[in-house]
Amino acid sequence: MQATSRTIATNQLGPHRDVARRVERALRYPLRKPVAEHTREAFAQAQDWYESRSGRGQSPLILDAGCGVGLSTRQLAARYEDHLVIGVDRSADRLSRDHGALAENALLVRADLVDFWRLALAAGWQPARHYLLYPNPYPKSAHLKQRWHGHPVLPVILALGGRLELRSNWRLYVEEFAQALEQVTGTVALVEPWEPAGHFLTPFERKYHASGQSLWRLQADLPHAPELVPGPLTEER
Ligand X SMILES: C[S@@+](CC[C@H](N)C(=O)[O-])C[C@H]1O[C@@H](n2cnc3c(N)ncnc32)[C@H](O)[C@@H]1O
Q: Which stretches of the chain bind ligand X, using CB under 6 A?
A: 66-68, 72, 88-91, 94, 112-114, 133-136, 202-205
Indicate the residue among 17 and 97 with the shorter CB distance to ligand X: 97
Indicate the residue among 50 and 148 with the shorter CB distance to ligand X: 148
Residues 6+ apart with CB under 8 A from 145: 22, 151
Indicate the residue among 50 and 170 with the shorter CB distance to ligand X: 170
The answer to whether 77 and 209 have CB atoms below 8 angstroms apart is: no
Closest distance to ligand X from the beta carbon of 162 (Å) = 18
DSSP letter string, 113-135 = HHHHHHHHHHTT---SEEEEES-
Indicate the residue among 23 and 69 with the shorter CB distance to ligand X: 69
Closest distance to ligand X from the beta carbon of 191 (Å) = 18
Give residue 77's region: left, alpha or beta (phi > 0; psi -120 to 50): alpha
Name the nearest CA neighbour of 177 among 185, 193, 169, 166. Answer: 166
Closest distance to ligand X from the beta carbon of 132 (Å) = 8
Indicate the residue among 188 and 197 with the shorter CB distance to ligand X: 197
Closest distance to ligand X from the beta carbon of 230 (Å) = 20
Distance in angstroms (rounded) separating the CA atoms of residues 110 and 28: 29
Closest distance to ligand X from the beta carbon of 60 (Å) = 21
Indicate the residue among 152 and 203 with the shorter CB distance to ligand X: 203
Closest distance to ligand X from the beta carbon of 117 (Å) = 9
Distance in angstroms (rounded) separating the CA atoms of residues 201 and 78: 12
Name the nearest CA neighbour of 233 among 88, 120, 74, 91. Answer: 120
The answer to whether 203 and 87 have CB atoms below 8 angstroms apart is: no
